[in-house]
């Protein structure tokens, strides 16, 4: 496929804000694409995550590609606020054009991106620039704009997973529910689109694939323990651990470890891989649990400690010794050819217990009791808090497992005032000693209209955290206005606050009073952040407490 074909679609998408129009544009496009090319086309319409191309690298590449000074690129970026448009400008005004250049194809763009990602080590920067320059110089000015945006992960076409899902359904006359259910199992809309185009009846029967993560089931918040217990006829209560949701796939001696964001973190946890091999009595299975960092006495450590291991790509052996782990298993999804998703939790738990050989302090079943008795449940809740965990999960023993859904089968109970998971959408450079770091951050709450500001956070940081956040956020800067910058919505932070107030100054309608950082949530994707209805509910609860006083 010619790259110019998808560029025309990008341009149409960018020039409408209407979601139904975007859906229709994509649906018409998908129908025109041969089934064997659909998977790649869908990848490009969704955009790529975590390509790791920083703005600074891109500025240098644009300069070298078009024979201009890097300082001029920086100046033009400040003027236009979009590196894609900067590339387009220099592409239009480039000094010479090759008369023999081949027309760029989508496959060529993808090949170069994969080659770019595979390069590392000494001398790789120059080679990476050369690979991207080849694409930029071969593309039309508009094509060069979208190549740049693809690389830095800022497409600006307003297409999220929901629009792609609906477009696939419309293009191939399938139900939205069937498309989403297939995605829950396969976590790849490109593959889902191919199935919809060739045999849409298979969407309903999409099968689990070992080594490919499923979307995890999500919990809802309960006001208190009593409400959670009353919600189910047959509840169980489990400790809610302060760790990272871990999905384990085992196929003989092959083991994969995935985070709740569906990231493959197997390399970061070789110790967990070995524990799975030795302590799971099943040849093929998918398990879930919560991995926590522990100290030398086996006591749980804050998640922030564990996040260093999740992010680490090198010195793994050293990190493994510095930050040992324990996994607390609570779910079985698949075993030896049998899908357990449609079985009730009581059966999933019973089978999980059968196949686990516990190793105290390292590889264990989650603390779990089955009771409807409030006093016993409250004792368990208080105990969970006393050992340094977050609270409890109250689960319905009669319920099935629903990948990717927040359907009320699991209810989390934590002390009020609850924290919020918010996304950093802007920041401001510090002054004085902190002139080289981003010192305060605009927090965004998830709404149907995107992430809207709900507060400015400037406290609760150590110098190390400020430096870490700045390093993570710098490549995500999409606009600069003096000391203020606009950040692409990718980094989730858990935030505590004194209270929630109604506010006419923020688009969300609410403001957090004295927000402060609890931890950076590398295990959370932006689409898992708190939503505006969470704030509305917490505000209502907060007001209710005030009235009782």
Q: What is the mean pLDDT of residues 502-522?
A: 90
Of 184, 193, 265, residue with least CA distance to 43: 193
* H-helix segments, 312-373: 316-322, 345-355
Which residues are CB-neighbours of 490 under 8 A, at least 6 positions away?
153, 423, 476, 526
Query: What fold does the segment set 420-548 form as a domain?
Result: OB fold (Dihydrolipoamide Acetyltransferase, E2P) (2.40.50)
Does residue 548 carry a pLDDT above 50?
no
Q: How far is CA 308 from the centre of its chain?
A: 17
The phi and psi torsions of 456 (rounded to 5 degrees) equal -120, 125
In a 3-state reduction of DSSP, which class is residue 426?
Answer: strand
Query: What is the structure's pLDDT at 81?
Result: 84
Q: What is the mean pLDDT of residues 158-181?
A: 95
Tokens, residue 397: 């023993």
Of 219, 220, 286, 276, residue with least CA distance to 253: 276
Locus of tokens 């030398």: 296
Q: How far is CA 252 from the centre of its chain?
A: 29
Separation of first and last alpha carbons in the chain: 67
Locus of tokens 């995550």: 49
CA torsion 375→381→386→391, rounded to 10°? Answer: -160
Which residues are CB-neighbours of 457 under 8 A, at least 6 positions away?
440, 441, 443, 493, 495, 512, 515, 516, 517
User: Which range among 10-14, 325-329, 473-477, 491-495 shows the weakest confidence by mean pLDDT?
Assistant: 473-477
Predicted TM-score (pTM) of this structure:
0.80
Which residues are CB-neighbours of 288 under 8 A, at least 6 positions away?
216, 245, 246, 247, 248, 329, 330, 331, 332, 333
Tokens, residue 219: 């919990």
Query: What fold does the segment set 224-413 form as a domain?
Result: D-amino Acid Aminotransferase; Chain A, domain 1 (3.30.470)
Tell how many helices (H) and how many strands (E) occur in the chain.
20, 20
Give the whole-number percent of the chain exceeding pLDDT 90.
67
Q: What is the mean pLDDT of residues 395-424?
A: 90
Give the span between the Cα atoms of 399 and 24, in whole angstroms: 37
Catalytic annotation on 92? Answer: no
Of 413, 378, 408, 375, residue with least CA distance to 393: 413
Strands (E), 397-483: 410-413, 420-429, 438-447, 450-457, 477-481
Query: What is the structure's pLDDT at 269?
Result: 95
Domain map (residue ranges) of the chain: 224-413, 420-548
Question: Quick one: residue 533, left, alpha or beta (phi over 0 = left, psi -120 to 50 = alpha)?
Answer: alpha
pLDDT digits (tens, 9 = 90+) for 66-124: 999 999 999 999 889 889 999 999 999 876 555 556 789 999 999 999 999 888 878 88
Per the prediction, the chain carries an average pLDDT of 91
Query: What is the structure's pLDDT at 98?
Result: 56
Of 537, 540, 536, residue with least CA distance to 510: 536
**Is it true that 224-413 and 420-548 share their CATH fold?**
no
pLDDT digits (tens, 9 = 90+) for 191-234: 999 999 999 999 998 999 999 999 999 999 888 999 999 999 99
The residue ranking higher by pLDDT, 131 or 94, is 131
Query: What is the structure's pLDDT at 549?
Result: 30
The confidence band for 434, taking pLDDT boundaries of 50, 70 and 90, is confident
Which residues are CB-neighbours of 189 under 8 A, at least 6 positions away?
42, 46, 161, 164, 165, 168, 183
Query: What is the structure's pLDDT at 18?
Result: 93
> Which residue among the candidates 240, 250, 395, 412 is catalytic per the annotation?
240
Does residue 266 carry a pLDDT above 80?
yes
Does residue 242 carry a pLDDT above 60?
yes
The residue ranking higher by pLDDT, 466 or 357, is 357
* Largest interatomic CA distance in the chain: 81
Is the Cα torsion angle 309, 294, 391, 398 positive or negative in sign?
Answer: positive
Does residue 127 carry a pLDDT above 60?
yes
Tell me the residue length of the chain: 549
Give the span between the Cα atoms of 457 and 440, in whole angstroms: 6
The phi and psi torsions of 455 (rounded to 5 degrees) equal 165, 165
Buried b (16+ CB within 10 A) or exposed e, 414-431: beeebbbbbbbbbbbbbe
Tokens, residue 7: 């560029």
The confidence band for 546, taking pLDDT boundaries of 50, 70 and 90, is very low
Q: What is the mean pLDDT of residues 348-375?
A: 97
Q: What is the mean pLDDT of residues 445-457?
A: 93
In a 3-state reduction of DSSP, which class is residue 292?
Answer: strand
């Amino acid at each position: 496929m010619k790259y110019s074909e998808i560029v025309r679609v990008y341009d149409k998408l960018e020039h409408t804000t209407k979601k139904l129009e975007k859906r229709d544009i994509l649906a018409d496009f998908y129908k025109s694409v041969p089934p064997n090319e659909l998977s790649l086309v869908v990848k490009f319409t969704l955009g790529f995550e975590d390509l790791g191309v920083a703005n600074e690298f891109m500025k240098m590449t644009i300069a070298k590609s078009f024979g201009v000074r890097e300082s001029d690129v920086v100046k033009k970026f400040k003027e236009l606020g979009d590196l894609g448009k900067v590339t387009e400008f220099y592409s239009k005004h480039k000094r010479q054009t090759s008369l023999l250049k081949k027309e760029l194809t989508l496959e060529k763009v993808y090949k170069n991106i994969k080659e770019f990602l595979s390069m590392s080590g000494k001398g790789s920067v120059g080679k990476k620039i050369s690979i991207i320059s080849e694409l930029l110089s071969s593309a039309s000015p508009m094509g060069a704009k979208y190549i740049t945006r693809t690389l830095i992960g800022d497409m600006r076409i307003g297409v999220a997973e929901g629009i792609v899902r609906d477009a696939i359904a419309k293009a191939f006359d399938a139900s939205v529910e069937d498309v989403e259910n297939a995605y829950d199992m396969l976590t790849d809309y490109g593959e889902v689109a191919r199935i919809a185009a060739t045999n849409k009846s298979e969407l309903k029967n999409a099968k689990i694939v070992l080594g490919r993560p499923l979307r995890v089931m999500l919990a809802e918040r309960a006001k208190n323990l009593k409400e959670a217990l009353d919600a189910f006829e047959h509840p169980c209560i489990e400790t809610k651990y302060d760790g990272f949701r871990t999905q384990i796939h085992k196929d003989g001696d092959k083991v994969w470890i995935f985070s709740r964001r569906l990231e493959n973190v197997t390399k970061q946890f070789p110790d967990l891989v070995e524990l799975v091999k030795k302590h799971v009595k099943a040849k093929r299975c998918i398990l879930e649990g919560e991995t926590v960092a522990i100290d030398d006495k086996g006591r749980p450590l804050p998640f922030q400690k564990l996040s260093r291991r999740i992010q680490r790509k090198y010195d793994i052996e050293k990190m493994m010794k510095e930050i040992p782990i324990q996994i607390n298993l609570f779910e079985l999804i698949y075993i030896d050819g049998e899908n357990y998703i449609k079985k009730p939790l009581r059966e999933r738990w019973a089978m999980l217990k059968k196949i686990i050989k516990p190793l105290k302090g390292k590889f264990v079943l989650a603390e779990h009791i089955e009771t409807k008795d409030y006093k016993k449940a409250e004792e368990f809740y208080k105990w969970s808090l006393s050992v340094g965990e977050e609270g409890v999960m109250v689960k319905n023993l009669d319920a099935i497992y629903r990948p990717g859904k927040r359907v009320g089968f699991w209810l989390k109970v934590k002390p009020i005032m609850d924290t919020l998971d918010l996304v950093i959408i802007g920041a401001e450079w510090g002054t004085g000693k902190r002139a080289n770091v981003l010192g305060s951050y605009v927090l965004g709450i998830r709404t149907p209209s995107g992430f809207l500001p709900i507060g400015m956070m400037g406290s609760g940081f150590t110098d190390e955290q400020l430096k870490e956040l700045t390093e993570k956020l710098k490549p995500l800067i999409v606009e600069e206005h003096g000391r203020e910058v606009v950040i692409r919505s990718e980094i989730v932070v858990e935030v505590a606050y004194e209270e929630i107030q109604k506010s006419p100054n923020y688009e969300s309608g609410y403001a957090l009073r004295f927000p402060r950082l609890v931890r950076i949530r590398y295990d959370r994707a932006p689409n898992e952040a708190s939503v505006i209805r969470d704030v509305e509910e917490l505000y209502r609860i907060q007001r209710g407490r005030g009235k009782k006083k």
